[in-house]
A = this chain, B = another copy of it.
Amino acid sequence: MDRTLSSETTHKIGETVLLKGWVNTRRDHGKIVFIDLRDRTGLIQVVMTGDQAGSLRPEDVVYITGLVKARPEKLVNPRLATGAVEIEAQNVTLIEKAAELPFDMGQQVLELQLPTLLDNRTLSLRHPRISDIFLVQAAVLEGFRLAARELGCIEIVVPTISASATEGGAEVFKVNYYGHSAFLTQSPQLYKQMLVPSYERVYTIAHIYRSEPSVTTRHLSESTQLDCEIGYADFTELMDALEFVGSRTVKHVTENCAGILSRFGIAPAWIPPQIPRLKMREAQEIIKQRTGVDHTLEKDLMPEDEKEIWRWAREVHHSDFVTITHYPTQKRAFYTMPDPQNPEYSLSYDLIFRGVELLSGSQRINNYDQLLAAMKSRGLNPDDFVMYLQAFKYGMPPEGGFSFGLERFTMLILELANIREASMFPRDMERVDVRLSALKKPRQRAGV
């Protein structure tokens, strides 16, 4: 007999079906036992005798043949998609026995500390509330790809092993590369720029690495970055692309994960036809007028400023998005184009979503000599950027782009408290699946 998925049972009342899945929960009521069976489409209630149920317990893998029956109206469970039916078990076959669980998987939300959830990651990832997070993440990936492709971007694959620390900074992981020192990249930035002369418009989904020597709720040692880069575009066209990709990705998630967002208590995003745009100094001025707090001399927006300018965007423009431009040149990466009108500020932009930076980018310096000078003024050694500079030596058009972090985006859109919740297998200074402190044999510490 072919397998019937739990979601298909509602159309099969009166039929005998074969279900395959995990025991999600077991409730014994005298002589009968209720099993909620879980498969990839959700839960279905199965009624069986104590004999049939035997010692079944959560996470056991079972195959069950049974009759699909409509439930009496007063017993319909509105919280379950299959709540109008139940299965009367005929035959119950245990396929794989699960060990006793370290915690109750039957709760609506697993009320456990994050380290416990991560110590038992292959188990906690089965919980609907947690597996839902990564359905949203998959929708972010897909929404981004659709948006990037609509802009005409070609997908590129860029390496993660690099001969030099990408953008300077000490927070890089070193790799023993055939006796040489190599590094794990902090960003696909330089490579996507190098591909502009090939395809003009490119996108990539890349792993990035930061050897962050502290444990915060916002940093991962390994994460995923989504990047676009667009040639022959001026600053206005780049902002158009930024806002299109950011809002289109949010829209894709909203449309494809409506049920999950609703269960997480997330309201649909306000996306206006035209996202408001402000220079950083203009935003600070508005904030000063609204709150009386003067941050007009600060070199960046403070977190509370990003919140306040979002409130302004909602009130004045009915928008959960607002684009902030012209951050101080010194606050941005070396390749950021200074504003020719006033080089102290740059042709940079952040797309703020609900009070937090969601996407970030800029127009880039595309002239070879100007780029070389910018590198040197930041103390970077052009010898570490031979291949990157080559792309500019042979004619780089005006171009720019933007990027965002997949885990960060997932965290923001679902309002999660810790970025680790938005990574299936988060890496930080304390953990690589297992806690590093718990590794039995002390690993070699000097070199690797």
Q: Which residues of A contact B (CB under 8 A)?
A: 3, 20-22, 39-40, 59-61, 95-99, 101, 120-123, 125-126, 131, 134-135, 137-138, 141-142, 152, 154-163, 173-182, 184, 191, 194-195, 197-201, 205, 207, 209, 211, 213, 221-222, 224, 232, 366-368, 383, 386-388, 390-391, 393-398, 406, 423-425, 427, 429, 432-434, 436, 439-440, 443-448
Contacts and interface: CB of A to CB of B under 8 A. Distances in A.
Given A40-B199, A121-B194, A160-B160, 15 more contacts: A22-B397, A39-B232, A95-B398, A125-B195, A131-B199, A138-B155, A138-B156, A156-B424, A175-B448, A176-B447, A177-B448, A178-B211, A178-B436, A180-B432, A191-B424
Contacts of A445: 179-180
Contacts of A152: 40
B157 A137 contact: yes
B122 A197 contact: yes
Contacts of A199: 40, 131
Contacts of A390: 120-123
B448 A367 contact: no
B182 A432 contact: yes
B154 A138 contact: yes
B386 A433 contact: yes
A427 B161 contact: yes
A101 B448 CA distance: 42
Contacts of A22: 197, 395, 397
In the A-B complex, list the 6 residue pairs whose CB atoms are closest, starting with the nearest. Answer: A447-B447, A98-B395, A122-B391, A40-B200, A174-B448, A387-B433
B432 A394 contact: no
A275 to B, nearest CB: 22
6 contacts: A40-B200, A122-B194, A122-B394, A159-B424, A163-B432, A387-B434
B181 A155 contact: no
A157 B222 CA distance: 11
